[in-house]
Amino acid sequence: MPQSGRSVVFVDGARTPFGKAGPKGLFAETRADDLVVKVIRELLRRNPELPPERIDEVAVAATTQIGDQGLTLGRTAGILAGLPVSVPGFSVDRMCAGALTATTAVSGGIGIGAYDVALAAGVEHMGRHPMGEGVDPNPRFVSERLVDPEALLMGKTAENLHDRLPHLTKERADAYAVASQEKTARAYADGKIQPMLVPVATRTANAGWTLATADEPPRPGTTMASLAGLKTPFRPHGRVTAGNAAGLNDGATAALLAAEEVADELGLAKGMRLVSFAFAGVEPEVMGYGPVPATEKALAKADLSISDIGLFEVNEAFAIQVLSFLDFYGIDDDDPRVNPMGGAIAVGHPLASSGIRLMTYLSAEFAEHPEVRYGLTTMCIGLGMGGTVIWENPHYAKGANA
């Protein structure tokens, strides 16, 4: 397999519970920067072998970089988390793939020797900062028809994807959504998700202090019947509903990455080994198709084929987006290798934070499946992009569980 530079490993990942955006959500009165600080501190607590001064960079993503998600969040969050002032930081914006991009950015630095150890993170408080708050899109986008006007509303891009692929029906999207809820409920029942979560103390004027310990969005017991009658807000008689799409959410994630030789030196765990990554663009009005060309590029860079991938973590911004990816590769809608612990339709999608949520899930799945050598994390990205990272399982043992 083609490879250059140092081997990069995903050491550990953690996240806050994800809350529902809005005045009644878990984190309605909690600052966004405090959420990401909480997760960074938790990673340091979980990895006491790492001297904080060995961290060379902190990259924190947010889609809406304003208010408590602004001011070079990588630097401010590092200071607030108690890192030495010698540790620098920066902010990232690639919409939904913010945390994924923060990870690939620092991994590239590790690969060429600029960093030994780095933190990547993502946060989105959609209750405080709805997507698009404070932005001013250039009028040329519409006046010169550089993009279809529907490209600026993600739900409409999902409807457009249904149009392009009419065999991927609303019924299939709803069935996929039901399965995501069921898998998430089963993962919670089996105690698989809880170790990834960082409890967060929250306070509201009405309820006082509480402790957030679980995701707020899941709807266990969801059925096809309960989804059938939901409104289609993006188009009359459409196919995209609140039931087969991720909601508006608040939450933060963070990951610790290192050169493999440095992880060995410090005695840090190795959850995954980075193989390749790629980003690709598509027509913005069908942005959900982005994972397909991104995955094709990432596979080519790794000299792998889709048949080499044993586990898939695909962000569920919309069910149709996942189905279009599976359809391209001839993978069944209910393939057990795909999102085995459920996904964003159930737990939520706080935009820039979700990429590391996918990675943390995949790392846990690798530990359970030593027979799987390769897995991938992939997601669609607003304005017509996709991002994919291919990972190798350090626990791989040929013939395991055969």
Left if phi > 0, otherwise alpha if psi is -120 to 50, otherwise beta: which for 11? Answer: alpha
| Within-domain flag for 366 | yes
Q: What CA dihedral angle connects 391, 282, 174 and 316, to 10 degrees?
A: 30
pLDDT at 395 over 50: yes
Cβ 378 vs Cβ 386: under 8 Å: yes
From 129, 162, 349, 369, active-site residue: 349
Q: DSSP secondary-structure letter at 318?
A: B
| Within-domain flag for 210 | no
Give the per-residue pLDDT at 132: 80
| Within-domain flag for 282 | yes
Q: What's the mean per-residue pLDDT of the chain?
A: 95
| Within-domain flag for 232 | no
Q: Scanning the structure block, which residue is given the tokens 């006082």?
A: 208
Q: What CA dihedral angle connects 271, 276, 279 and 282, to 10 degrees?
A: -110
> Sorting pLDDT into bands at 50, 70 and 90, what band is 402?
low
C-alpha separations of 57 from 86, 94, 102, 198, 362 in Å? 10, 18, 10, 22, 24
Give the per-residue pLDDT at 350: 98
From 96, 125, 129, 369, active-site residue: 96
pLDDT in tens, 35-94: 999 999 999 999 999 999 999 999 999 999 999 999 999 999 999 999 999 999 999 999
pLDDT in tens, 336-385: 999 999 999 999 999 999 999 999 999 999 999 999 999 999 999 999 99
395 in catalytic set: no
Average pLDDT score over residue span 264-282: 98
pLDDT in tens, 108-122: 999 999 999 999 999
Which residues does 207 contact at the CB level (< 8 Å), separation at least 6? none
Give the per-residue pLDDT at 171: 98
pLDDT at 3 over 70: no
Q: DSSP secondary-structure letter at 40?
A: H
> Sorting pLDDT into bands at 50, 70 and 90, what band is 1?
very low
Average pLDDT score over residue span 321-329: 98
Of 1-5, 172-176, 261-265, 285-289, least confident by mean pLDDT is 1-5
| Within-domain flag for 364 | yes
Here the CATH number for the domain that contains residue 104 is 3.40.47.10
| Dist. CA 241–CA 381, nearest whole Å | 19
Q: Scanning the structure block, which residue is given the tokens 């290798």?
A: 337
Quote the domain boundaries for residue 371. Answer: 8-129+246-391
pLDDT in tens, 180-216: 999 999 999 999 999 999 999 998 877 789 999 999 9
Question: And the tokens for 283?
Answer: 């027509």
Q: How many domains does the chain have?
A: 1
Percentage of the chain exceeding pLDDT 70 = 99
pLDDT at 238 over 70: yes
Pairing of strands 374-381, 309-314: parallel
Give the per-residue pLDDT at 205: 78
pLDDT in tens, 128-170: 998 888 888 888 887 888 888 887 789 999 999 999 999 999 9
Average pLDDT score over residue span 18-34: 95
| Within-domain flag for 377 | yes
| Within-domain flag for 318 | yes
C-alpha separations of 246 from 96, 106, 180, 346, 351 in Å? 12, 28, 11, 7, 10
162 in catalytic set: no
Give the per-residue pLDDT at 139: 87
Average pLDDT score over residue span 287-292: 97
| Within-domain flag for 195 | no
> Sorting pLDDT into bands at 50, 70 and 90, what band is 9?
very high
pLDDT in tens, 96-107: 999 999 999 999
Helix (H/G/I), strand (E/B), else coil: 389: strand
Q: What are phi and psi of 360, to 5 degrees?
A: -65, -40
Q: DSSP secondary-structure letter at 240?
A: -
Question: And the tokens for 28?
Answer: 């309605």
